[in-house]
Amino acid sequence: MHYPTGYTFGMPTPELFIDPTTVMFGKLLLAVLLGGIVGTERALLAKQFAGTRTFGLVALGASLFVIIGNYVNLAFLGAADIQPTFIAAAIVTGIGFLGGGLIVFQGNSLHGVTTAAGLWMMAAIGMAVGFGLYALAIFATIMVLILFTGMWYVENRFKHWFAEYIEDSHTDIQKI
């Protein structure tokens, strides 16, 4: 079903009551806030180089691209065929390039994959804000924080458990 501009699922949205420029600024502020929160976790707890500014910029940029795509699509309706989903696809490609630069091999270990995945998620969250899916963006940010912080604890517990298990296995083999 198609609803008129300013309506989502038949309900009026803030765009009907507030200046559209103010709504755009609010979207950008929310994207920066959500990206900054996740980036701060990466900088302080995970001690990663890509932190508050990087994650905030990725979310801001993704949101801005989506807002531009939506605005241009409405402003030139009928004159040009501009699809905001094409812009979203280009954002995913660009973030893939940026994330690839973060992944580094050091000896036999791989570093930066989680940070690259976090940047990829921030691009998605920024796009959600740009498209006006605020609750989804906030919930996704909470899920990212749970994965970054809560699962870090679980992962370390497993590492300690497996280290103890392997030591016990080697001790049993040496007894034989």
111-136: average pLDDT = 88
CB contact at 8 A, 148 and 113: no
Domain range annotation of the chain:
18-142
Least confident among 22-26, 95-99, 117-121, 158-162: 158-162
Share of the chain above pLDDT 90, in %: 12
- Sign of the alpha-carbon dihedral angle for 70, 72, 77, 78: negative
Interval 78-116: pLDDT, tens: 666 667 778 888 888 888 888 888 888 778 777 888 888
pLDDT of residue 31: 92
pLDDT of residue 16: 65
pLDDT of residue 61: 85
Q: Is the pLDDT of residue 3 over 60?
A: no
- Comparison of pLDDT for 169 and 72, the residue scoring more: 72
Q: Is the pLDDT of residue 56 over 70?
A: yes
pLDDT of residue 176: 60
Taking the C-alpha atoms of residue 46 and residue 41, their distance in angstroms, rounded to an integer, is: 7
Cα 54 from chain centre: 11
Q: Is the pLDDT of residue 163 over 60?
A: yes
Share of the chain above pLDDT 70, in %: 80
- Comparison of pLDDT for 30 and 171, the residue scoring more: 30
58-84: average pLDDT = 78
As to burial, measured by CB atoms within 10 angstroms (0-12 exposed, 13-18 middle, 19+ buried), residue 91 is buried
Least confident among 4-18, 83-97, 126-140: 4-18
- Comparison of pLDDT for 111 and 140, the residue scoring more: 140
The pLDDT confidence band at residue 11, using thresholds 50, 70 and 90, is low
